[in-house]
Amino acid sequence: MTSSAGDAAGLHQFRYTAADFGRIRELIYRWAGISLNPNKQQMVYSRLARRLRLRGIASFAAYIDLVERGEPGETEEFINALTTNLTSFFREPHHFPILARHLEELLPLRRPLTIWSSAASSGEEPYSLAMTMVELFGSFTPPVRIHATDIDTSALERGRRGIYPTERVKELSPARMKRFFLRGEGKNAGYVRVKPELQWLVTFGRLNLLDERWPLAERFDAIFCRNVMIYFDKETQYQVLKRFVPRLQPEGLLFAGHSESFHQAGDLFRLCGKTVYAPCHPA
């Protein structure tokens, strides 16, 4: 998109130039590590235009000025709007039996087991982890703690609520539906809710993987960081992976997305399964 095309009357409700898009790319990279492809101009307009309408702002330049000034709450809304939340229950299903076998092998250590879902989005991944743990241990009180974090506060709130349209769970077996979900009735028809006993296994909290400090004190037996690294450039990926190493237990595993490869971090992690990694030199 050129500046003149972006400003053409009738194409956009709000004034939007190539320079505006450049500023947005710089901000989302600085704050969230996301490298926006140059062909995403129209997507950015579509996602942020709602914020301009809500704030009564006439141009993208004025909105970006507002965000850069640190307007309370608007930085989060800016990041939320530009964050992709494509997720599903038991996405990349081969990971879950690998995780179950891995944690079974750690049981002789006789300590609580910990899992970090570091790009939890709206909760489908951490709840899939929780279901896996209940099935593994045959109890809603497994010796496992699951931490679910994401940069997107609106997605996290949906995860905390644990309410989903029925089409989001259509791939789950009838047995899992009966064991882990409640079906909505009346005005809630067409929705399901995660049962409270499953919700209790997951703790949600906001975390930006680019923040200097992560508000997590413990080390993890498994870290799930799936389908988020694809939005980072190679240097940002490496720096995040480097910080994962001391966050893993010596026997810990890192689970990545199907389109992600960490060849550039071969000094940090070695491939030990399909998109499953172990630290080369455990901290």
Tens of pLDDT along 114-127?
999 999 999 999 99
Active-site pick, 20, 25, 51, 150: 150
Q: May I ask the CATH class of domain 3-82? A: mainly alpha
DSSP bridge pairs for 194: 181
Distance CA 274, CA 172 (A): 23
* Given the residues 47, 91, 145, 219, the one annotated as active site: 47
Strands 191-194 and 181-183: antiparallel
What does 12-68 look like in DSSP terms, one character per residue?
-SSB--HHHHHHHHHHHHHHH-----GGGHHHHHHHHHHHHHHHT--BHHHHHHHHH
Look at residue 268 and give its three-state secondary structure: coil
What local confidence, expressed as pLDDT, does residue 9 receive? 37
Is 211 a known active-site residue?
Answer: no
150 in active site: yes
Domain residue spans of the chain: 3-82, 95-279
> Exposed, middle or buried by CB within 10 Å (0-12, 13-18, 19+), for 134?
buried
Q: Per-residue pLDDT tens for 156-201? A: 999 999 999 999 999 999 999 999 999 988 988 999 999 999 999 9
Q: Which CATH number fits domain 95-279: 3.10.450.50, 1.10.1490.10, 3.40.50.150, 3.30.470.20?
A: 3.40.50.150
